[in-house]
Structure 1
Amino acid sequence: MADQVELETTRLAAVRGSVPMDGLPAFFDTAYPAVARAAAQEGWTLDGPAIGWYPAMSTDVVQVAAGFPVSGASTGAVSGTVAVLEVAGGPALVATHTGSYDGLPDAWERLEQERVALGVDGRGDFWEEYVTEPSPGGDPSANVTRLVLPLRTGS
């Protein structure tokens, strides 16, 4: 069951890319350490879990920004391949998925069904917050991922 919440605008230090769906794990594996290094070098503070932000829904190749919420950085700041973006706040549906990342498509489908049942429209972007950090040899069934679906406001 999803919660309807009001999100604050988030400043996100991230690496952006156009990535084939099957290339996302490798992209994330290089993007998150790059953001952590840039934050340490620039004096930015990481303020939350890793995020995979998708500015629009697509199928085979996705536009994605992988990074962390930050403070101490100006929107538009750049450090190597890392840029600081602003992700707009506002109303959203939020759900939590516990389990392997393989279960995320089904979790998103359930969230989408809830959105339709509520009669609200998505804004177009969405993201995943990786609340638990997977570790080599860890139990994938223990992964916790927060699914965030921003909603359109106005008419």
Structure 2
Amino acid sequence: MITEPLIAHKPERRTATIHLVVPPMDMPKYMDPAIQEVLQVLAEQGLKPMGPLFSYHHRRPAETFEFEIGFAVNGDVKPQGRVKPSTLPASRVVSSLYTGPYEGLGGAWGELERWVRAQGHVETGRFWEAYLSNPEETPDPADYRTELNWVLD
């Protein structure tokens, strides 16, 4: 389901994001409008995404998901509407690649969590997904590729 997990060091990256707190079942309703809003602000400010769309989760999901959705950017974004400047912090992560539909991400994270715990790593509750496939360009959800990043410290 996931590739062999690897420990990696990720550098800090400037980002343009929208902060969301939503119930898990409502995520699809909020994701696309937020993505489009970030892309529109970047275009208006003459900035470009520098990498794939990501969602950075500040805590383990409970009743709601609390996360930032956005893109790493090639400059400083000015706050506009819900779009704010932020960063993907420099961190040591366990990284793995999941291939399959977004509905399978919960199982993929469970598999990664079991590996992290088996290795004796401490849980921070922070993690992010980088969406390497664009559903408009990859019509079959079975081919979607998502990078999973479990923050260690």
Mapping of residues 88-99 of structure 1, within 5 Å:
88-99=89-100
- What CA distance in whole angstroms lies between the structure 2 residues aligned with 1:27 and 1:69? 20
Pairs within 5 Å for 1:122-141: 122-135=123-136, 138-141=139-142
* Partner residue, 1:144: 145
2:49 is the alignment partner of 1:52 = no
1:9-62, CA deviations, whole angstroms, 9 ceiling, x for partnerless residues? 122211111111011112111011111110111122210111011111122211
Cα distance between partner residues in 2 of 1:86 and 1:120: 24
* Runs of at least 5 residues in structure 2 that lack an aligned partner in the other structure: none
Question: Matches of residues 65-80 of structure 1 in structure 2 within 5 Å?
Answer: 65-73=68-76, 77-80=78-81
Describe the SS at the equivalent of 2:21: strand
8 Å contact from structure 2 (residues 57, 128) kept in 1: yes
Task: Please give the secondary structure, in 2, of the residue aligned with 1:68.
Answer: strand
Q: Say which SS state the counterpart of residue 95 (structure 2) adopts.
A: strand
Of 30, 42, 46, 2:45 maps to 42
What letter matches 2:139 in structure 1?
A: G
CA contact (8 A) 2:16 2:86 kept: yes
Question: Which structure 1 residue ranges, 5 or more long, are not aligned?
Answer: none
Question: Higher strand proportion, which one?
Answer: 1
Q: Is the 8 A contact 2:138 2:144 kept in 1?
A: no
The answer to whether the 8 A contact 1:56-1:63 is kept is: yes
Matched with 1:17 is 20
Query: What corresponds to 1:6 in structure 2?
Result: 9
Moved more, 46-55 or 119-128: 119-128
**Residue aligning to 1:27:** 30
Range with greater deviation from structure 2 (114-123 or 97-106): 114-123
What letter is aligned with 2:130? E
Cα RMSD for the two superposed structures: 1.5
Runs ≥4 residues deviating over 4 A: none
Amino acid at match of 1:150: V
Partners of 1:105 and 1:134 lie apart in 2 by 19
Total equivalences in the alignment: 150
Distance 1:122 1:25 in 2: 27
- TM, length-normalised to structure 2: 0.92
How far did 1:147 drift? Answer: 0.4
Contact between 1:43 and 1:72, CA under 8 Å: does it hold in 2? no
Identity of aligned residues (%): 27
TM-score relative to the length of structure 1: 0.91
Aligned to 1:81: 82
